């Protein structure tokens, strides 16, 4: 109301002025004259009804287009947040690491939670922006409770080809994200864990990263980011796993370097390498690599 009063003051109208009413009345009279001319062959009752309809439409149009307060409110309701990056939360957190996950959730502007992870995020103090999945592992009534909190709930049939994590990646793409980070998705059943690694690999074009207690990881690919520099500490463990046959793999700053090597899928060649100093570089010519650094490595920087 204050904004509307301020707008009228600046436009030269006094608060409480009857000018808007007179304007509507003038508009009504003008419409009535035009209606009478164009509908001479219509009965009086029909002309009056037609006049009323046209007045309502005209007044509605007038309010939508000329009142800056109404226009601002409508624009605010239509505004959609388009995130640059998204945190994708799975349903397999490391037990006993609530403090780590809580801090990670607080640090991220946009959160997509999978299935039961949505209410888990709420319990940690961060209501997710989107909840996605079939909700087969969530508590009964979870989608309804989440919707009541204002969460954008996207529910799918349990009979589907994609995992909930894959659905979350698809949602992130549809929103125009250019970066995704996965968390709470790499414990429990080995088949789920391997599939979750595959989900991260499929998001290489989104500069996919993984953040878990004890380690940080990123995906390198010829279809996305093909090189990275890690800021490490001497002795930090760094592993490089090929998610598909990879060529031209080069590792520098590690105890066991590689120079344009070919690395087969899931080969142990790059496992448990050791940082020699505070900087490690990894690059490839083709393929997809998962680069994993122990939490003692402070951060991973993309070139």
CB atoms within 10 A of CB 26: 10
Percentage of the chain lying above the pLDDT 70 cut: 70
Dmax of the chain from CA atoms? Answer: 95
Q: Tell me which residue range forms the domain holding 7.
A: 2-78
- pLDDT value, residue 166: 96
Can you give the pTM of this predicted structure?
Answer: 0.71
**61 burial class (0-12, 13-18, 19+ CB within 10 angstroms)?**
exposed
pLDDT digits (tens, 9 = 90+) for 79-130: 446 689 999 999 999 999 999 999 999 999 999 999 999 999 999 999 999 9
Cα–Cα nearest to 92, from 77, 111, 114, 76:
114
Residue 117 shares a structural domain with residue 235:
yes
CB 216 within 8 A of CB 297: yes
CB 246 within 8 A of CB 217: no
Residue 207 shares a structural domain with residue 242:
yes
Q: Which helix (H) or strand (E) holds 218?
A: strand 215-221
Residue 31 shares a structural domain with residue 89:
no
Residue 35 shares a structural domain with residue 177:
no
The residue among 78, 101, 131 that closes a domain is 78
- pLDDT value, residue 158: 85
Q: Which helix (H) or strand (E) holds 14?
A: none
- pLDDT value, residue 296: 58
Cα–Cα nearest to 8, from 53, 56, 66:
66
Complete DSSP assignment for 156-212: --SS-SS-HHHHHHHHHHHTT-SEEEEEEESSS-HHHHHHHHHHHHHTGGGT-EEEE
pLDDT digits (tens, 9 = 90+) for 23-71: 444 544 554 454 444 444 444 444 444 444 344 434 333 333 333 332 3
Residue 28 shares a structural domain with residue 115:
no
Complete DSSP assignment for 60-110: HHHHHHH-HHHHHHHHHHH-----SEEEEEEEEPPTT-HHHHHHHHHH-S-
pLDDT digits (tens, 9 = 90+) for 155-185: 998 888 999 999 999 999 999 999 999 999 9
Residue 54 shares a structural domain with residue 190:
no
Complete DSSP assignment for 225-260: --EEEEE--TT-EEEEEEEEEEEEEEEESBSS-EEE
Tokens 């109301």 correspond to 1
Cα–Cα nearest to 225, from 296, 301, 116:
301
- pLDDT value, residue 130: 97
DSSP reduced 3-state for 289: strand
Number of domains in the chain: 2
* pLDDT tier, 186 (very low <50, low <70, confident <90, very high otherwise): very high
CATH, residue 203: 3.40.50.10240
């Amino acid at each position: 109301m204050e904004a509307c009063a301020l707008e009228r003051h600046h436009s030269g109208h006094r608060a409480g002025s009857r000018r808007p009413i007179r304007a509507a009345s003038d508009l009504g009279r003008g419409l009535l004259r035009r209606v009478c001319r164009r509908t001479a062959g219509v009965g009086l009752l029909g002309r009056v009804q037609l006049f009323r309809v046209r007045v309502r439409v005209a007044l509605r149009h007038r309010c939508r287009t000329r009142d800056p307060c109404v226009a601002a409110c409508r624009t605010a309701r239509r505004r959609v947040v388009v995130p640059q990056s998204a945190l994708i939360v799975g349903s397999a957190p490391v037990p006993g690491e609530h403090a780590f996950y809580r801090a990670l959730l607080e640090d991220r502007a946009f959160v997509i939670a999978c299935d039961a992870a949505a209410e888990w995020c709420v319990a940690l103090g961060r209501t997710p922006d989107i909840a996605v999945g079939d909700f087969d592992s969530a508590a009964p009534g979870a989608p309804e409770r989440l919707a009541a909190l204002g969460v954008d709930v996207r529910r799918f049939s349990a009979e589907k080809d994609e995992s909930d994590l894959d659905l979350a990646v698809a949602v992130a793409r549809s929103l125009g994200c250019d970066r995704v980070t996965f968390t709470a998705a790499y414990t429990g059943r080995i088949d789920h864990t391997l599939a979750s690694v595959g989900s991260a690999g499929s998001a290489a074009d989104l500069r996919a990263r993984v953040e878990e207690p004890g380690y940080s990881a990123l995906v390198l690919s010829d279809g996305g980011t093909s090189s990275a520099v890690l800021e490490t500490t001497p002795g930090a463990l760094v592993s490089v796993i090929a998610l598909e046959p990879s060529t031209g793999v080069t590792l520098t700053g590690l105890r066991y370097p590689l120079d344009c090597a070919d690395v087969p899928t899931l080969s142990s060649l790059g496992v448990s390498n050791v940082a020699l100093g505070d900087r490690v570089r990894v690059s490839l010519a083709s393929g997809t690599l998962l680069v994993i650094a122990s939490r003692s490595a402070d951060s991973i920087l993309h070139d």
